[in-house]
Amino acid sequence: MMNLTKNKQRAEELRELILKYNYEYHVLDNPSVSNAVWDGLFAELKRIEAEHSELITPDSPTQRVGSKLLDGFEKVAHKTRMLSLNDVFDRADVEAWVKRMDNLLPGVKHEFFTDIKMDGLACSLIYIDGVFSQAVTRGDGFVGEDVTDNVKTIRNVPLKLRYEKGYEQFLVGRTEIRGEIVMLKKDFEDLNKKRVSVGEPEFANPRNLAAGTIRQLDPQIVTTRPLNFRAYDLIRDDVSQVSSWMFAYQAAGILGLSCNQQASVFGDLNGVMKFIDEWDKKRHDLPFNTDGLVVKVNDRAQFTKLGIVGKQPRAAVAYKYAAEKVTTIIKDIFIGLGRTGAATPVAILQPVTLAGSQIQHASLHNADEIKRKDIRIGDTVVIFKAGDIIPQVESVVLELRPKKSFAFDFEEALSSEYPELKFERPEGEVVYRVKGTTGPILLKRSIEYFTGKGVMDIDTLGKKNVIALVDAGLVDDLADIYKLTFEQIVKLDRFADISAHKLIDAIATTKKPKLDRFILGLGIRHIGSQTAVDLANKFQSINSLKKATIEDLLSVDGIGEVVAESIVVWFSDEDNLKLLDKFDALGVKPYYQPATGKLVGQNFVITGTLKTMSRDEAADKIRSLGGTFQAAIARDTDYLVTGENVGSSKLKKAQDYGVKIIKEDELNNLIRG
């Protein structure tokens, strides 16, 4: 319920803002935001509406088919209705679409026609006896606007159809050519350059500009804005003259119209999917913008037979590529510490899908970047994926900034997150680092921890040896210890033949660590041994822990916001991801064994000093039998083990919660018996 109210409010805010931007763009001709911001907000609104269809309002900017009819142009009824297409997003959607058609026309094997979906505006050109007579926008699909004069300025729209033997029939009577009016990317850039040079504001994006241009009342202005028409349909009164979509393209081309050369026909879905994958990569090199592909049943008789549902034909779909820019909200900013002591800020995002995958954090680079873009917690931001794996923040949508919001204070955040460390920002650098040349110190510390007691337990590798290895330049990160060779080590002063062999052997025995130990060893802030065990139990592999969302993590007992964020941030660092790959490549394969043993599901707290073992040893034993070792008494604690010198407050709490209080020998019985 909460979620719905939030989404509703968000959708309303987005709609209001998009309408404002549309107005600035179309009416004032003076946009205040870039095309990325507009696209991002529009994509977010579409996403919310797709997830909560009850939130769609009839006046939502997403519900617009074609464009509103403006005064000043004559209305023209379309002889054949202009349709729109249903969107599909992946292979499963495409398969479901084909299945629906198979149910309607059982036994009919379809050929599929595919083409690039151009991002412009639809227009219909009417030729009478081969002569251009009228151009009509889509309008609401039934009635459009007469934009003949403006379309006449488009250079690649022939005013007379070409004659070619075998195609004479199209030069007699009415031939309707439908297609998309686009502005080529190059023309758009040139135009903007010109505008900047005379001090005029830049246009936001080619699609809006093409649409705005076509509805200019003054054709003089239209001539200054180069447009391009690309045909995708040919309609005759006698529909049998056009047997397939491929034929429509061929005929249109012969008659003198431009058609996309990329259009293809496939006998099966595999071909279609290959086309889709191929163009996902290549579409950015096309001369015009595209937001997907069109897939249709090639045969026109079958196409018609399959009919129309609502505004969409059953026999065609628009395949939409995943958005590469989306908007979302920054929930928090967290500063990660790299292995070299560099403090790197990361934005924790409300999860969104970007370029096909769910993301929940973005890199903020450094303090200056945050300041320059004035990125704040609570802000709505446009995020994008560049070459790297981790998305980045492009800009902040200031209009959606919460009323109470503060500039991000980097130094303050550093000291509250790492009260035990001191930071400095070396002259001329953008990065804050742990004070002193602490790079190696941090590295030494993390190796010591990883190889130390309770983690990898490589006891032949003490503190001094770690220092020697790092100082000799043999170990640059945690994984490097698995690269060490006997020859390298034996050269160091601290080692002789036997000790070097011993160390190599000891390291080799840790190549199949238990998953929880491995997680613990990574040194992720706020993860202690019990959390590591809980994480291992829940996620069962490093790969699924890597993909865990904040919500997934919060569902683990005992994990709160701070720990969850710390984990997500650790896995958002490309150096850390590379480190994991390196471990893997070096043959370090953590394994998970589901908790078995007689203590599964039992929670223990120990208080006081034990006689027969240390607390750590006791905790290890409990865990090895599947039990959970808790730091403090909680509602779900089953046993409080009391040693010597027990504080009374713990006993009282245990009694209040109905926790069983046992002595050390009873614990030993549980473990043994």
Give the Cα separation of 95 and 269 in Å (integer): 8
Asked whether position 469 contacts ligand IVH by CB under 6 A, the answer is no
Give the Cα separation of 572 and 181 in Å (integer): 42
Contacting residues for 603 by C-beta, under 8 A, at least 6 apart: 627, 628, 630, 634, 636, 637, 638, 639
Q: Which stretch binds ligand IVH (CB under 6 A): 155-163, 311-319, 433-441, 588-596?
A: 311-319
Give the Cα separation of 515 and 506 in Å (integer): 18
Count of residues of this chain found to bind ligand IVH when the rule CB under 6 A is applied: 15
Asked whether position 306 contacts ligand IVH by CB under 6 A, the answer is no
**Roughly how many angstroms between the first and final C-alpha of the chain, as a whole number?**
50
Q: Which stretch binds ligand IVH (CB under 6 A): 18-26, 83-91, 151-159, 525-533?
A: 83-91
Q: Which of 25, 232, 334, 639 binds ligand IVH (CB under 6 A)?
A: 232
CA distances from 147 to 2, 39, 182, 231 (A): 48, 27, 15, 17
Which residue lies nearer to ligand IVH by CB, 83 or 472?
Answer: 83
Q: Which stretch binds ligand IVH (CB under 6 A): 82-90, 404-412, 568-576, 595-603?
A: 82-90
Q: Which stretch binds ligand IVH (CB under 6 A): 79-87, 217-225, 488-496, 641-649?
A: 79-87
Which residue lies nearer to ligand IVH by CB, 313 or 627?
Answer: 313
Considering the complex, what minimum distance in angstroms separates the CB of residue 262 from ligand IVH?
9
Q: Environment class of residue 260 by beta-carbon count within 10 Å: exposed (0-12), middle (13-18) or buried (19+)?
A: buried
Give the Cα separation of 149 and 146 in Å (integer): 8
Asked whether position 177 contacts ligand IVH by CB under 6 A, the answer is no
Considering the complex, what minimum distance in angstroms separates the CB of residue 291 from ligand IVH?
9
Any bridge partners for residue 299, and if so which? 244
Q: Which two tokens stand for residue 355?
A: 């370029």
Give the Cα separation of 6 and 28 in Å (integer): 32
Which residue lies nearer to ligand IVH by CB, 233 or 584?
Answer: 233
Considering the complex, what minimum distance in angstroms separates the CB of residue 239 from ligand IVH?
13
Asked whether position 227 contacts ligand IVH by CB under 6 A, the answer is no
Residue nearest to ligand IVH (CB): 122
Q: Which stretch binds ligand IVH (CB under 6 A): 310-318, 393-401, 507-515, 638-646?
A: 310-318
Considering the complex, what minimum distance in angstroms separates the CB of residue 64 from ligand IVH?
12
Considering the complex, what minimum distance in angstroms separates the CB of residue 434 from ligand IVH?
54
Which residue lies nearer to ligand IVH by CB, 78 or 339?
Answer: 78
Give the Cα separation of 462 and 460 in Å (integer): 6
What is the number of alpha carbons within 13 Å of residue 504 lying toward its C-beta?
A: 15
Count of other CB atoms within 10 angstroms of residue 492: 16
Asked whether position 519 contacts ligand IVH by CB under 6 A, the answer is no
Count of other CB atoms within 10 angstroms of residue 452: 17
Give the active site residue among 6, 68, 117, 444: 117
Q: Which of 318, 346, 469, 564 binds ligand IVH (CB under 6 A)?
A: 318
CA distances from 614 to 109, 598, 610, 626 (A): 73, 21, 6, 19
Considering the complex, what minimum distance in angstroms separates the CB of residue 318 from ligand IVH?
5
Asked whether position 246 contacts ligand IVH by CB under 6 A, the answer is no
Which residue lies nearer to ligand IVH by CB, 230 or 621?
Answer: 230
Count of other CB atoms within 10 angstroms of residue 132: 18
Which residue lies nearer to ligand IVH by CB, 106 or 310?
Answer: 310
Asked whether position 83 contacts ligand IVH by CB under 6 A, the answer is yes
435 in active site? no
Give the Cα separation of 141 and 262 in Å (integer): 27
Asked whether position 349 contacts ligand IVH by CB under 6 A, the answer is no
> What H or E segment, with its residue span, contains residue 191?
helix 185-197
- Tell me whether strands 639-642 and 660-663 are parallel, antiparallel or unpaired: parallel
Binding mask 269-298 for ligand IVH (x = CB under 6 A): -------------------------x----
Q: Which of 504, 508, 444 lies closest to 476, judged by CA? A: 444
3-state secondary structure of 48: helix
Which residue lies nearer to ligand IVH by CB, 21 or 232?
Answer: 232
CA distances from 213 to 66, 196, 254 (A): 15, 19, 28
Considering the complex, what minimum distance in angstroms separates the CB of residue 166 from ligand IVH?
25
Opening angle at CA 271, ends 268 and 276, nearest 5: 130
Give the Cα separation of 254 and 165 in Å (integer): 10
Considering the complex, what minimum distance in angstroms separates the CB of residue 237 from ligand IVH?
18
Considering the complex, what minimum distance in angstroms separates the CB of residue 8 from ligand IVH?
27
Asked whether position 534 contacts ligand IVH by CB under 6 A, the answer is no
Find tokens 């009342």 and name the residue. Answer: 217
Residues 99-158 that bind ligand IVH (CB under 6 A): 115-118, 122
Q: Which stretch binds ligand IVH (CB under 6 A): 77-85, 432-440, 529-537, 562-570?
A: 77-85
Q: Which of 158, 256, 313, 341 binds ligand IVH (CB under 6 A)?
A: 313
Q: Which of 536, 545, 533, 554 lies closest to 627, judged by CA? A: 533
Q: Which of 45, 316, 330, 536 binds ligand IVH (CB under 6 A)?
A: 316
3-state secondary structure of 291: strand
Q: Which of 39, 145, 180, 516 binds ligand IVH (CB under 6 A)?
A: 180
Asked whether position 48 contacts ligand IVH by CB under 6 A, the answer is no
Q: Which of 48, 85, 88, 381 binds ligand IVH (CB under 6 A)?
A: 85
DSSP of 130-149: TEEEEEEE-TTSSEEEB-HH
Considering the complex, what minimum distance in angstroms separates the CB of residue 232 from ligand IVH?
4
Which residue lies nearer to ligand IVH by CB, 252 or 362?
Answer: 252
Catalytic residues, which ones? Answer: 117
Residues that bind ligand IVH (CB under 6 A): 83-85, 115-118, 122, 180, 232-233, 294, 313, 316, 318
